[in-house]
Amino acid sequence: MSNEQLRALIETVGGATGLALSAHFKGPTFLENCEFRIRGLEEPDGFSLAPFRTALGIGLKTKWDLFSADLVKAVENFYKEDSAEIAALENSFPPDVTFMKFVNGSRALGNDLNGTWRSIDFQWITPVEEIDSQSEWKSLEILLETSTSFLFDVLSSALMTDNAEGEGKIEGFTVESKCGRYSRSATNRKACLRHFGYICAACGFEPAEVYGPDGIGVIHVHHLTPLSAMTTAGPVSPIEDLVPLCANCHNFAHRKNPPYTPEEIRESLKK
């Protein structure tokens, strides 16, 4: 993989997750010499994500920095105190991604996470049908989207323990990237779609009816109050503050500020 392909990969994953990533390409053999980081969690206080090959396919694993003990402790507390949220996050992975967590060097299964943690490591593995650079690149893209969304949601929840229950995840952090993106919680998106379904709240368009099963996820999630209008990062309710919109209605909604509401879009369609 060239540096140009690596930059394209980072941009693609960033566009899907709202997170700015950096990559360190250290040698000619790509998978064994590349590490990814979420910007803002820089060395030596954060972690990196390292790709690897396995008999099962392509994998990605966490590598915690020397001074990341506070982050690890926050993750430990979150796992022990909010098992329902953790279960929801872990169950949201794509079906072809195998997730494993290792506590104190041993694989942790189910909720058997008691005792003192000295270490926590995460791994994601996805099968590769054909071993070639294009397949590996696509598999790595899936793994990066999955792992960074999960880790961002876990760390946001772990470090924001003062939030009232049911207020939703924190959104609106300005994330370093070329276009000054605002971070969006993948958990909030999934919770919104679980509640409302993959149907446009304005025009009723249902992608799966037009495109088949592969069209289920072709839907946007619209913030009724734009993140750019938030003066500070704050809790976002997946049910009260978010709605699913098709691409056309989402584009139309932002033709004015504040955006058109789904009700106003429906009235425009009637006219």
What is the per-residue pLDDT across 30-63, written as a single tens digit (0 to 9) for each? Answer: 666 788 998 878 888 889 999 998 888 899 999 9
The answer to pTM > 0.75 is no
Q: What is the pLDDT, as a whole number, of residue 181?
A: 36
196 and 75 inside one domain = no
154 and 178 inside one domain = no
141 and 180 inside one domain = no
Number of compact structural domains in the chain: 2
106 and 196 inside one domain = no
165 belongs to a structural domain = no
153 and 211 inside one domain = no
Task: Report yes or no: 21 and 8 within 8 Å, Cβ to Cβ.
Answer: no
- Please provide the average confidence, as pLDDT, over all residues in the chain: 78
Domain end point (choices 159, 193, 218): 159
212 and 120 inside one domain = no
Whole-number Å distance between alpha carbons of 75 and 181: 25
Task: Report yes or no: 48 and 37 within 8 Å, Cβ to Cβ.
Answer: yes
Tens-digit pLDDT profile for residues 213-262: 767 667 888 888 765 555 555 667 888 888 998 888 988 888 887 889 99
Is the pLDDT at 182 greater than 60? The verdict is no
Domain end point (choices 159, 184, 203): 159
102 and 143 inside one domain = yes
Q: What is the pLDDT, as a whole number, of residue 203?
A: 94
> What is the span of the domain harbouring residue 59?
3-159
Q: What percent of the chain has pLDDT over 70?
A: 77
Domain end point (choices 109, 136, 159): 159
234 and 264 inside one domain = yes
> Minimal CA–CA distance to 172: which of 225, 221, 251?
225
68 and 44 inside one domain = yes
Is the pLDDT at 167 greater than 60? The verdict is no
User: b/e map of 59-94 (b: 16 or more CB within 10 Å)?
Assistant: bbbbebbeebeebbebbbebbeebeebbeebeebbe
142 and 221 inside one domain = no
263 belongs to a structural domain = yes
45 and 179 inside one domain = no
Task: Look up residue 57 and give its two tokens.
Answer: 């396919």
96 belongs to a structural domain = yes
31 and 86 inside one domain = yes
> Minimal CA–CA distance to 6: which of 188, 163, 141?
141
Tens-digit pLDDT profile for residues 96-110: 899 999 999 888 876
